[in-house]
Amino acid sequence: MTGTRQRIYGTLAVAWTVGIAVAGLGFISGARAADYSLVNTVNVGAHAITCNFATPDTSFFTFDISLVEPETGKYLLADSSHGSPSSDTQGGLLTGATDGDVLVIDINNPGVGPTFMLPPGGDPFAGRRCDDNTNFGGVPATSPTSPSRNEISGPNGALLVNDTEVWVGDGPSRFVPGQTNSATDYITDPCDSSVRVFSLLSGKQTDHINLHGCFRTDEGTFDPVDQVVLIANPTEQPSVAAIDPYARTINNSAYISLISARDVVDGHHKILAQIPFDGLSGTIKADAGIEQAAYLRETGYFYIAIPGTAEDPADGWMVVLDPLQQKVLNNIKLPNCAPSGNSLGPKATLMLGCGDYVFVIDVSSGGTTGRLIQIPFPITGEFAPACDETTYDIGSDHWGSACLTTTSHGAFDLLVVDGHSRAFNVELPGAPGAHSVAADPVTQSFWLPAYQGICGTNTACVAVYGFQ
């Protein structure tokens, strides 16, 4: 299927003939990152959800991973602030809850605002939950624009499968954790965090796959050759697994699941393997989490970002995993790089968001080893160690990374890097908490969800950066 798409953002107008394979789009000659600027903001509506801690914490737009489906022009965001209103109060701790959703913006007509893919009424997302236990992933709020977060909310990660589905990681079913900062707070955790499958054609949930996580299912990627989905449960807690009656052996460490995108067993996509990252059988002990993963068609391998370990938090790892053998082939050490972001670029390169710098790792030599290339920023010390999601725009041949800055009051800004020269190009203002970024190769634009900052006072939006 091919078609011509015309899109308009303010003064930006682009027409493109699109094929099924995004790789067929090629590059636009003469595209200069310095020409990027804010071209639109799509208001998505702020919604107040309050955790009634001793110091109440109200969030207005909480979200995680975002992406673009370029064939139909859909922007998709894992969003826990909207969706159907929920009667759940988490024992009086939670006010204004919703069931969560996948937020959708029609890139061809962003002015109509967002629509929402919703799970069935009797099977809601975990939604925004209240859990301030810092020993178990709870992060207290620092401001109205940077609310508390935790490891039992959802939806979280999102990825495209066969350009017809979006798979979305979710937290465990709703329960009421204690707030004493101990493992016993989670004794009623049902340990059923999952991945949900939505059809992009109908907008309906078509599968709900229980991955048996006690804490959230998060980010993943897709191997279209072998039809295998990889998705991570990055924050399992062995102390909880030891006492929770619903826990399994897999909950003793962070783990990844390999799931068939085509084989269905008993009404659900088949789980091919679950691999604990416990430091055994060639794995890293991923006790500091598992972050973005990418699939490289040239090698046939998955590349998984590990942001350091409890023993060595400064040095991260790139795990090379074979989806057919279902095992780790190598762990590439990343000195002074604890990556959160990880996205595929040109010529077997991956861009890693590593805090004070972004790095590019070249895996073209055999696929199981890599050469690390640092991309320095022009102002030393400007960026705190919090570069998060990265993405690559094949249309303009530029990477984009959402990075926390120290000079703009805790805001995440959009940093743009040339895909071939690997030179830092431009920094564009974002907002506090704006850690997620997606790229549309058709309009050559980056999409950054945010609250306040670039959106304006008390406004939740998705900011669009492109060429004027």
pLDDT tens digits for 310-328? Answer: 999 989 999 999 999 999 9
Put the strands of the sheet holding 193-199 in their side by side order. Answer: 158-161, 165-170, 193-199, 205-213
pTM, two decimal places = 0.92
- Cβ-based neighbours of 100, under 8 Å, separated by 6 or more: 79, 80, 82, 83, 119, 124, 125, 126, 127, 128, 154, 155, 170
- What is the pLDDT of the chain when averaged over all its residues? 89
In this predicted structure, the answer to whether residue 374 has a pLDDT above a threshold of 90 is: no
pLDDT at residue 377, as a whole number: 64
At 272, phi and psi to the nearest 5? Answer: -80, -40
Name residue 10's beta-bridge partners: none
pLDDT at residue 456, as a whole number: 96
pLDDT tens digits for 160-171? Answer: 999 999 999 999
CA distance 105 to 271: 31
pLDDT tens digits for 242-274? Answer: 999 999 999 999 999 999 999 888 899 999 999
Number of domains in the chain: 1
pLDDT at residue 410, as a whole number: 65
Q: Which residue has the higher pLDDT, 300 or 365?
A: 300
Mean pLDDT score, 82-104? 95
Confidence of residue 16 (pLDDT cuts 50, 70, 90): very low
In this predicted structure, the answer to whether residue 214 has a pLDDT above a threshold of 70 is: yes
pLDDT at residue 253, as a whole number: 98
Mean pLDDT score, 84-99? 94
pLDDT tens digits for 331-347? Answer: 999 998 889 999 999 98
Pair 179, 131: CB distance under 8 Å: yes
Please give the full DSSP string across 290-330, using - where no structure is assigned. ---EEEETTTTEEEEEE---SS-TT-EEEEEEETTTTEEEE
69: domain CATH number is 2.130.10.10
CA distance 292 to 434: 16
In this predicted structure, the answer to whether residue 384 has a pLDDT above a threshold of 80 is: no
Mean pLDDT score, 98-127? 96
Sign (positive/negative) of CA torsion 54, 189, 167, 400? Answer: positive
pLDDT at residue 369, as a whole number: 87
Q: Which residue has the higher pLDDT, 298 or 383?
A: 298
Pair 289, 254: CB distance under 8 Å: yes
Instruction: List the domain range (segments joined by +) for residue 91.
Output: 3-467
